């Protein structure tokens, strides 16, 4: 196995001496952060993700709020335990087909329906990313927060019912927004991508890297 090469940049070296927490148990997000050369621990958020979608004007607004609330839940929980981290990273990804937001399917039938609706059409993938750190003015002050969103356009192949059912039978779609995983077998369903492919996997690597650089450079 080839050793992971870490970029020798001052802000990343400094950040890797801090207590950085990823508020997600997603294997895809963990892999992507590790590829960026970031050292971190995992504390999954318990935020229930029950926000009313009708209150948001656009899927990007919804996914940004989910990412924010996930990160805040972990920040407040660790702070209450006396374990305030130096940085929290939260993220949330959804698929939007037209005006409909598609999250993780709740059943096999739901996964089949999602993939059938995406077949032969174009949809958008949105990932909200939030960074939270304690205020430099003291623990009693509101934390510093930076939130942004990445969007990627995805075109699906015309997929037969037989292939959809065979793919769903692998159980791969069941823990993924939109019911497919671009990083694994689900890639055969995708005809093309316009934008960041890492975003479709679950975390936009470039955006996160430069958000971290901006956030750690702020005073």
At 2 the pLDDT is 43
Crossing angle of helices 161-169/108-118, nearest 10°?
140
User: pLDDT 10s digit of each residue in the chain, 219 long?
Assistant: 344 667 888 999 999 999 999 999 999 999 999 999 999 999 999 999 889 999 999 999 999 999 999 999 999 999 999 999 999 999 999 999 988 999 899 999 999 999 999 999 999 999 999 999 999 888 788 999 999 999 999 999 999 999 999 999 999 999 998 999 999 999 999 999 999 999 999 999 999 999 999 998 875
Reported pTM: 0.91
At 76 the pLDDT is 95
Those residues with Cβ within 8 angstroms of residue 217's Cβ, 6 or more apart along the chain or in another chain? 11
Q: For the chain, which residues make up each domain, given as ranges?
A: 10-218
At 219 the pLDDT is 53
At 3 the pLDDT is 47
First to last CA, the chain: 39
CATH of domain 10-218: 3.90.950.10
At 1 the pLDDT is 38
In the residue annotation, 92 being an active-site residue is answered as: yes
Catalytic hit among 31, 61, 92, 148: 92
């Amino acid at each position: 196995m080839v050793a992971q090469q870490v970029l020798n940049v001052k802000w990343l070296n400094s950040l890797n001496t801090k207590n950085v927490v990823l508020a997600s148990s997603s294997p895809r997000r963990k892999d992507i952060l590790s590829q960026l050369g970031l050292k971190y621990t995992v504390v999954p958020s318990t935020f229930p993700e029950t926000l009313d979608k009708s209150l948001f004007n656009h899927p990007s607004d919804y996914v940004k709020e989910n990412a924010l609330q996930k990160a805040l839940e972990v920040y407040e929980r660790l702070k209450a335990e006396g374990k305030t981290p130096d940085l929290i990273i939260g993220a949330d990804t959804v698929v939007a087909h037209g005006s409909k937001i598609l999250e993780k399917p709740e059943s096999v039938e739901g996964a089949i329906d999602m993939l059938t609706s995406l077949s032969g059409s174009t949809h958008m993938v949105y990932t909200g990313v939030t960074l939270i750190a304690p205020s430099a003015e003291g623990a009693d002050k509101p934390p510093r927060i930076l939130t942004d969103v990445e969007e990627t356009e995805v075109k699906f192949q015309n997929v037969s019912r037989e292939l959809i059912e065979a793919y769903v039978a692998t159980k791969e779609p069941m823990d993924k927004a939109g019911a497919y995983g671009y990083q694994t077998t689900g890639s055969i369903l995708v005809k093309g991508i316009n934008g960041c492919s890492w975003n479709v996997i679950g975390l936009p690597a470039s955006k996160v890297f430069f958000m971290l650089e901006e956030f750690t450079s702020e005073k």
